Amino acid sequence: MDKKTLAIISYITIIGWVIAYFQYKDKERDPFVIYHLKQSLGLAIIGLLLGVATSVVISIIPALSVVAYANLAVMVLWILGILTAAKEQKKPVPVIGAMFENQFAFLNVNA
């Protein structure tokens, strides 16, 4: 797979991330793929935490079930990440992407 395909696949669920990660490990490490692996892993973590938090809030206060729509924001960010990878740009996902640019050291080129 080429680097653009790996970057796009990394955003498609955690299974896609794992596939992209292992395909990337077998090949020459490209900073573009590393960047999108970091962004998509960060989104997955935020999505998981947000899902757990909204479930807890809704189970405690059912009247706040509208809070569950916050998970749609994560889906929109995922789509924006896919579009950025498809355009072959290294641009952070809006709002939360900058937090993950220097995280996940195990993905670095010199690792």
- Each residue's pLDDT tens digit, 6-64: 889 989 888 988 888 888 876 667 788 888 888 899 899 999 999 999 999 889 988 88
Token reading at 53: 């938090």
What per-residue confidence (pLDDT) applies to 31?
82
Compute the distance between CA of residue 16 and CA of residue 6 in angstroms, rounded to an integer: 9
Most confident option among 25-39, 58-72, 74-88, 94-108: 74-88
What per-residue confidence (pLDDT) applies to 86?
92
What per-residue confidence (pLDDT) applies to 87?
92
Which ranges of 31-97 does DSSP label H, i.e. alpha helix?
A: 31-60, 70-86
Token reading at 40: 């998509």
Sign of CA dihedral 64, 11, 25, 105: negative
Reported pTM: 0.82
The DSSP code for 100 is G
Instruction: Please say whether the beta carbons of 84 and 91 come within 8 A.
Output: yes
